[in-house]
Amino acid sequence: MQELFSVANKVALVTGGSRGIGRMIAEGFVRAGARVYISARKAEACEATAAELAKIGTCNAIPADLSSEAEARRLAAELGEREPMLHVLVNNAGANWGAPYEEYPDSAWDKVLAVNVKAVFHLTRALTPRLEAAASDADPARVINIGSIDGIQVPALETYAYSASKAAVHHMTHVLARRLAPKRITVNAVAPGPFESKMMAATLERFGDSIAASCPLGRIGTPEDMAGVAIYLASRAGAYVTGVVIPVDGGIRA
């Protein structure tokens, strides 16, 4: 069973890995023995998180602003200079924007879609040769896209571009899963519910008790909940799973 769920010595890249859900996944991989690279837009925060995680395992930082295709290509190239193969890519970097319907700006759509949707495509495409190099029939390479339950159900808050972008991520997961399967690369998505993160901080501060009360399991998600599903998808246990969106929300969607 330890081998079935092992990610030891696998090379993993987690975008948006300096905080929130990205850090939860990165730390889970580090503790499980993977060689982890994290990327984030703010170099100082990225380096600081990598230094903290390096105290418990192997973690390195490659800062990048994935809102542009050029930066996605640069990140892929820099990783390629360090690692000939990439076993796991976690597309987690994301942006949000809330504003009333009558005032929602066009700039919100540009920013959110660039980071949440286009970056997933650009980075996955740029890293496909490295993923293919790590893949085998028995243990494919993995792409794990971080979506949201807001991309499955109507969100409570006015975050129009965000919920639309996450729905797009879910559908692109299906499309890429079909496209990359012949290369022995699986593509799946995780749709988190409420977790403690900077993006969710203001919402949880105002509505945390009611959100927890509305959750069938009666609580907010923990880092272990997010690390667990990522390790499952990245390990041999998840090798025959592709093209699915897994809600991790304590039953809220149900």
Determine phi and psi for 170, rounding to 5 degrees.
-60, -45
Active-site residue among 101, 104, 160, 162?
162
Supply the DSSP string of the chain, one letter for each residue: -TTTT--TT-EEEEETTTSHHHHHHHHHHHHTT-EEEEE-SSHHHHHHHHHHHTTTSEEEE----TTSHHHHHHHHHHHHHH-S--SEEEE---------GGG--HHHHHHHHIIIIIHHHHHHHHHHHHHHHH--SSS-EEEEEE--GGGTS--SS--HHHHHHHHHHHHHHHHHHHHHGGGTEEEEEEEE-SB-STTTHHHHHHHHHHHHHHSTT-S-B-HHHHHHHHHHHHSGGGTT--S-EEEESTTS--
The strand ranges marked E within 47-159 are 58-61, 88-91, 141-146
Active site (annotated) includes residue 162 = yes
Catalytic positions are: 162
